[in-house]
Amino acid sequence: MLEQLRRWFGDRLPIAEIVAYFSKKTVPQHKHSFWYYFGGLTLFFFVVQIVSGILLSLYYKPSPEAAHKSILEIMNRVPYGWLVRSIHSWSSNLMIGCLFIHMFSAFLMKAYRKPRELMWMTGVLLLFLTLGFGFTGYLLPWDTMAYFATLIGTEVPKTLPIIGDWGVSLLKGEDEIGGETLARMYSIHIIILPLITLVVVSYHVALNQVFGSSVPLGTIEKKAPIPFFPNFIYRDIGSWVIGFTALICLSTVFPWGLGEKADPLASAPFGIKPEWYFLPLYQSLKIAPSTVFSLSGELIINLLVGAGSLLWFLVPFIDPRASRGQKTPVFTALGVVLILYIIITIIFAFIT
Amino acid sequence: MKLTVPPHKPRRDFLSTALGIWGLLAVVPVLNVLVRYITPPKGTPTTRQSLEVGLVDDIPRGTAKIVRFDREPVIIVHTSSGQFKAFFARCTHLGCVVKFQSEGAQGFHCNCHGSDFDLNGKNLSGPAPKPLTALKVTVQQASLIVSTTEV
């Protein structure tokens, strides 16, 4: 019976061929192989986000009157609601953390070299999509911190020439943060971004299956590469077990809190800060002078971030020497400086 | 009778070109509808010119009150010297609602990025690029009236 069933599916779904392909595909083994696991971990936390997000959407009510109360209901009345919400919040942070590690390790290992340019570019696209998830999801609990962080975030594009005001109204959906903003953020968070992300992430992962993992320039592979299936996938699952354990520990030991319901008339509370992954931008906006050569400080920061993001996206074409197998220490130094800037601004934002 | 094979290629080329042109022509109106749909309609313009915000006694000296003036928060301050001042309360940097500083040199502070303003709304420090927009405050029979006639 079982054999018949296996044969029936085998005739209609080429499982054997797929398994054979993955068994033939190999993953290099060297002293930097450890960093390969962060891509899989990011994907794992993304799946956790989808599952926990679907569960939250069963009870969440996206309106300024009901949003905060519905989160309170989820946390206090729905069985394990506090855990699901805590998992969703912690997993988003862990996902972004793993994504940063994955991206910077890929950058420092020059994994964007030919023929992996599109892998790098889809990866950078996924970074922006993930930050978009973080930003749009932040308003949904409708607490004070969420309200002011979104207020600041939606005002950021206003200094951009021509499209600035339009960009702000597009994000807000009305003149101030209110019901329309919440509806927009919710729609972007649960429909638009997931759809785009699923397409991009599928392409990113498919490219990885075709081209395999990149070996850093000058790295000697002392050990033989291992088959992707089952050897590497088992190790990957091992990293997911560790990630899941860390997630459950964080979610239960430090359950995610909820602030007071947002009051649009209240002054911004003392110590208001965005999530840690937006702190470099926050701190840059804070230290920027109000005007530089008659240009506003915000405009300069916006232009710098925009230009920097574009250059980051196009790195494979800016560093063609790496594709020719030559060492490019300037780009390594650039990556290190960027990592240091991110760490230092996050620390400064926390202590000031 | 021998059948001749119709020359498919020119017909396919024509179809591909026609579909391509149709696609290009369709993109413009579709994008137009999409962009206009997601751009929110303009809010109703403010018609209110003044607002009674309460009694003079509601705001003791050295304190402030925030009220809603149509869609905008307005902060009314009763200074230590007995004057009433009012400003649109949104920080001119990124729109957070400012807080009245009653201690030390009185003024306004934005907790979001640390901008400071004096009691006349002038930006003193931090990233705020402009002063707060001042409003006119009048007292009519012990009631405080704030009006959009800028000072």
- CATH fold group of domain B50-147: Rieske Iron-sulfur Protein (2.102.10)
pLDDT digits (tens, 9 = 90+) for B40-92: 988 776 677 888 888 888 899 889 999 988 888 999 999 888 899 999 999 99
Among the partner-chain residues B67, B68, B96, the one whose CB lies closest to the CB of A268 is: B96
DSSP 3-state assignment of A85?
helix
A265/B66 CB distance under 8 A: yes
> Residue range A26-50: average pLDDT?
95
| Per-residue confidence (pLDDT) for residue B43, from 0 to 100 | 74
Nearest CA in chain B to A176: B71
Asked whether residue A290 carries a pLDDT value surpassing 80, the answer given is no
Q: Which residues of chain B are within 8 Å of residue A175 when distances are taken between CB atoms?
A: 43, 71
Predicted pLDDT at B7: 63
Task: Write out the two tokens for A246.
Answer: 């860390």
What is the pLDDT averaged over residues B4-12?
73
B134 touches chain A (CB under 8 A): no
Residue B94 confidence (pLDDT) above 90: no
Q: How many residues appear in chain B? A: 151
Q: What pLDDT was estimated at residue A293? A: 80
Amino acid (1-letter code) at residue A51: V
Q: A60-64, A98-102, A294-298, B15-19: which range is least confident on average? A: A294-298
Question: Measured between beta carbons, which residues in chain B are less than 8 angstroms from residue A282?
Answer: 113
Q: How far apart are CA B72 and CA B89, in angstroms?
A: 8
Question: Looking at CA atoms only, how far is residue B66 from chain A in angstroms?
Answer: 7
What pLDDT does A129 receive? 98
Q: How far is CA A148 from CA A262, A276, B92, in A?
A: 8, 15, 14
More confident residue, B110 or A291: B110
Mean pLDDT within A192-197: 97
Band of pLDDT at residue B2, cut at 50, 70 and 90: low
Average pLDDT of the segment spanning A167-184: 92
Most confident residue range from A163-177, A192-206, B52-66, B133-147 = A192-206
Question: Does B96 contact A272 at a Cβ distance shorter than 8 Å?
Answer: yes
Q: ipTM higher than 0.85?
A: no
Using the Cβ of A290 and the Cβ atoms of chain B, whether some distance falls under 8 Å is answered with yes
Interface test with A, best of B36, B96, B130 (most A CBs within 10 A): B96
Q: What is the model's pLDDT at position A71?
A: 97
The CA angle A187-A299-B126, to the nearest 5 degrees, is 100
Return the pLDDT at A210.
Answer: 92
Listed ranges A188-192, B70-74, B120-124; the one with the highest mean pLDDT: A188-192
| Contact residues, chain A, for B129 at CB < 8 Å | 290-291, 296-298
Cβ within 8 Å of A, B 36-55: 38-40, 43
Q: Is the pLDDT of residue A191 over 90?
A: yes
Mean pLDDT, range A76-94, rounded to an integer:
97
Distance CA A138, CA A157 (A): 18
Q: A175 — contact with chain B (CB < 8 Å)?
A: yes
Would the CB atoms of B94 and A296 count as touching at under 8 Å?
no
Kindly indicate the confidence band of residue B150, based on its pLDDT and cuts at 50, 70 and 90: low
User: Which residues, 6 or more positions from A136, have their beta carbon under 8 angstroms from its beta carbon?
Assistant: A185, A186, A188, A189, A193
Cβ within 8 Å of B, A 194-233: none
| pLDDT beyond 70 at B3 | no
Q: Measured between CA atoms, how close is B16 to chain A, in angstroms? A: 27
Distance CA A231, CA B93 (A): 54
The whole-number pLDDT of residue B6 equals 61
Q: Which chain B residue shows the shortest CA-CA distance from A149? A: B112
Residue A271 to chain B, least CA–CA distance (Å): 7
Nearest to A104 by CA among A350, A337, A318, A282: A337
pLDDT score recorded for residue A265: 86
CB–CB contact B112 A152 (8 Å): yes
End-to-end CA distance of chain A: 68
**Listed residue (B98, B96, B92, B52) closest to B75, CA to CA:** B98
Distance from CA of A220 to the nearest CA of B (A): 49
Rounded Cα gap, residues A304 and A295, in angstroms: 13
* CA nearest to B71 within chain A: A176
Minimum CA–CA partner of A282 in chain B: B113
Measured between beta carbons, the chain A residues lying within 8 angstroms of B89 are 267
- Considering only alpha carbons, which residue of chain A is nearest residue B40? A173
